[in-house]
Every structure is written in structure tokens, then in C-alpha cells.
Amino acid sequence: MSDIVTTKEKYPAGDFGVWIIIYIELVTFAMLFVGYAFSRRADVELFNQSQLMLNQTSGFINTIILITSSYFVAKAVQAVKSMDETNYKEFNKKASKWLIFALICGATFLLVKITEFSHIFGEGINLSTNKFFMFYLLLTGFHFMHVMLGSIILFNIFMRTRKFGYTPEDTRGIESGASYWHMVDLLWIVLFPLIYIIR
Amino acid sequence: MKKILEIIWIVLIALTLFAYLLGYLKYIDSALVSILLLTTFIKGALVSDHFMGLKSVDSKYRVVPIIWLSIVLSLIAIAYYL
């Protein structure tokens, strides 16, 4: 019998501060998700009728885009974590390649969402239209801002990889930014079925 | 396993496609909502374990997103079924 010993890291990757932010964001969104679910229960017909005005396909496309961008970011982190003193430039280059793909995904997500918002606003819908659209605009608008911030963070990380800024001793910046981006993905994974699918 | 991230990505895409087809075909009944919420839990757990890398971290950090997903999805289910 072979002895396989797996050692676990004591702390998650990245700065402690970013994990505090992640936990706060998870709690904030949890309140909105649960608020939506119980408000829906109070007026199922209104929520189901209003949901028909949403474009499920754009919600689906955005889910695929965010999941794929998370994969690219995970590959960038994997590249940076595999480097040593002799090859760190090559691995920074690899990471920057993955980050370009992730940034393209982030920009595409925002573009699809802007198109969806302009359609919704074009129909004369706003926060006061009804409870469904209040939650829809709050949840997706708040999430949209997180994708924007995440994209800015990823862009900064990308610029640092271009300058070969990550070394085997210093990968915390990319790990922190990646953790934030994965949180944005995690939130959308719950948001998509809740707002677009369940009826 | 070398290709673990690729496998996780494929599973996430497949589960998302499943959710979309349910919505697109308007084939959502109460029983399927449970399955949809379960697949959402699996997707969230895969992202936190493998993309965030929490699988290789001390359990007390790993369980936070899992507990978060369990509470949020259970409350959504309660709101749907009660």
C-alpha cells in the first residue's frame, strides 16, 4: 500500500484582506438572493410574467463567458505558481496570454449586459416598475459593477505580468485578483438560475 | 491530474447548458427546480474548490463558500416550495 500524504495550505491564496471583502460580498448578495426568493413567493404571477421579458439566451451566454473567464484566470495563476527563478519570465508571459483571454471575456460580458440593459430601459422599465424589476436591476446592476472592478483588477495584473513582475516569492497580487474574479463568477452562478430560469 | 481545470470547465459548461435548456424549453416543474438548485450547488462548489483553489487549503476556509451555497440555495428552495 502506498502512503500518499497531501499537505494542505494553512491559508487561502492571496491577501487576507481580499478574503474579508469576498466574505462581505457573499453575505450582501445572499441577502439580495433570499430577498428576491421570498418576494417572489408573495407574488409568483407577477414575477413569472415579468421574467418573460428577460432574454434567457443573453443570461446563458454571460454564464458561459464568466465560467470561461474564470478558467482562463485559473490557468494564469497555475502558470505563475509553476515558475522558478530560472523561468519566471517565460511563465509571466504565459500568464499574460491567459489574462488577455480573461479580459476579452470580461469585456464581452459587459457588452452583452449593456445590450440587455438598454433593451430593458428602452421598454420604459426602471427600479419602480415592479418588485421583480427592482430586484433584477439591483442584483444585475450591482453584479455588473463587480465585473467592471474585476476587469480593472485583471488589467492591472496583466500589465504586471507584461513587466515580468511576478516571481516565485511574490505571487500574492495575482492570487488575490483571481480570487476576487472567481467570487464574481460564483455570484453569477447563483444569480443566473434564480433570476432567469426558475419560474 | 494534469487536466483537472479543463475537466472542471467542461462540467460547468454542461451543467449551465442543462439549466438553460430547462428554461428555454419552459420545462421547469417543481421537481426540476430541486435538480436545478442541486446543479447550481455543484457548480459553485467546483468553482470554489478548483478555481479558487480552496480544495488544497485548511478545511475551515474551504467550507465557508460551501456553507454559503448550502444556506442560500436551501432558503431559495424553502421560498419556492413553502
**What cell was used for A106?**
470580461
**What are the pLDDT digits (tens) for B11-50?**
999 999 999 998 887 767 888 999 999 999 999 999 999 9
In a domain, A28, yes or no: yes
**If you average pLDDT over every residue of chain B, what do you get?**
93
Domain boundaries, chain B: 4-81
Q: Is residue A47 included in any domain, yes or no? A: yes
To test the contact with chain B by mutation, choose from A105, A181, A197 the residue with the greatest count of B C-beta atoms within 10 A, namely A197
| pLDDT of B57 over the 50 cut | yes
In a domain, A15, yes or no: no
- The ipTM (two decimal places) reads 0.95
Chain B hits for A199, Cβ within 8 Å: 23, 26, 28
Beta-carbon neighbour count of residue B79 at 10 Å?
18
Supply the range of the domain harboring residue A117: 22-197
Q: Confidence class of residue A6 from pLDDT cuts 50, 70 and 90?
A: low
Chain A contact set for B50 (CB, 8 A): 74
**Structure confidence by residue, pLDDT tens digits, A106-115:** 999 999 999 9
Contacts of A10 in chain B (CB under 8 A): 57-58
Q: What is the CATH number of the domain that holds A58?
A: 1.20.120.80
B64 CB-contact burial (10 Å; exposed 0-12 / middle 13-18 / buried 19+): middle
Query: Is residue A2 in a domain?
Result: no
> Average of pLDDT values for A51-72?
96
Position A1 pLDDT exceeds 50: no
Give B65 or A13, the one with higher predicted confidence.
Answer: B65
Percent of chain A with pLDDT over 70: 97
Q: Distance between CA atoms of A94 and A67, rounded to whole angstroms?
A: 20
Q: How many domains does chain A have?
A: 1
Fill in the DSSP letter of residue A130: -
First to last CA, chain B: 43
What would the mean pLDDT of A184-197 be, rounded to a whole number? 97
Whether pLDDT at A7 is above 90: no
pLDDT value at position A4? 52
Q: Tell me which residues of chain B have a C-beta less than 8 Å from any C-beta of chain A.
A: 5-6, 8-9, 12-13, 16-17, 19-20, 22-24, 26, 28, 33, 36-37, 40, 43-44, 47-48, 50-54, 56-59, 61, 64-65, 68-69, 71-73, 75-76, 79-80, 82
Cα of B1 to nearest chain A Cα, Å? 13
Residues of chain A with Cβ-Cβ distance to B33 below 8 Å are: 198
